[in-house]
Amino acid sequence: MERVDDQEKAACLATIQIDVENAERFDIKYIGDDGKEKRPLILHTSPSGSIERILYGVLEQANKDKKKGKKPNLPLWMAPVQVRLLPVDEELIEYCMELGKDLDISGVRYEIDDRQMTLGKKIRSAEKLWTPYICVVGEKEKASGNLAVRRRVAKDQVDLSLSDLVKEIKEKTGFAPYQQLLQPSLISKQPIFSREV
């Protein structure tokens, strides 16, 4: 069997199984050619696997990418947070919240790093979480209406208007169902799962 995972273990993302127990468990019967009741063998098949198996495959691929020197990432449609807004000071949190309203309306998952940290630490925190788009918001950005956007996959930094950022995200995720962020958009209000981020 081909090695799939990083622990050198064979892993199964698709499955085909012959089930000899569920016919009895669910009282499934048929009448055979001989006129007698019989229990069938049940064939289970799942060509792409369950959600957990797909997520496993995505994370394994990210690990392989990391070992090759590439930045690991989740597909944009799957990323829990697609955009993180980083206000450079406390006075810009309200402006970020206004931007967030537009992102909400557009169906883009976002959060605002409103913590009292240096900009460098906020950027590192977002990078550790594989955030696809990291947007620094300072007075310059507020005045121009553009955002300084770090794009994880493209490995670049560009100035984009909010509408251009939304357009880029929608072009890449339009095929996928939308799921809104299920926690507060302000990071200071979110539950703490790790002291590192």
Cβ pair 25, 18 in contact under 8 A: no
CA separation for the pair 102, 21 (Å, rounded): 53
pLDDT of the residue at 1: 35
HSE on the CB side for 192, CA within 13 Å? 6
Three-class DSSP category at 153: coil
HSE on the CB side for 197, CA within 13 Å? 15
pLDDT of the residue at 2: 44
Spatial CA neighbour of 12 closest among 44, 43, 57, 42: 57
Spatial CA neighbour of 55 closest among 13, 3, 110, 7: 13
User: For the chain, which residues score pLDDT lower than 70?
Assistant: 1-14, 46-50, 195-197
pTM of structure: 0.77
Tell me how crowded residue 103 is: count the other CB atoms within 10 A of its CB.
23
Using the structure block, give the residue that is written with the tokens 């995972």.
Answer: 5
- One-letter amino acid at 24 equals E
CA separation for the pair 173, 81 (Å, rounded): 13
Cβ pair 181, 109 in contact under 8 A: yes
Domain ranges across the chain: 15-67, 83-189
pLDDT of the residue at 141: 96
Within 88-131, strands assigned E span 110-112
Cβ pair 63, 72 in contact under 8 A: yes
Q: What is the CATH number of domain 83-189?
A: 3.40.50.800
Q: What is the pLDDT of residues 82-128, one digit of tens each?
A: 999 999 999 999 999 999 999 999 999 999 999 999 999 999 999 99
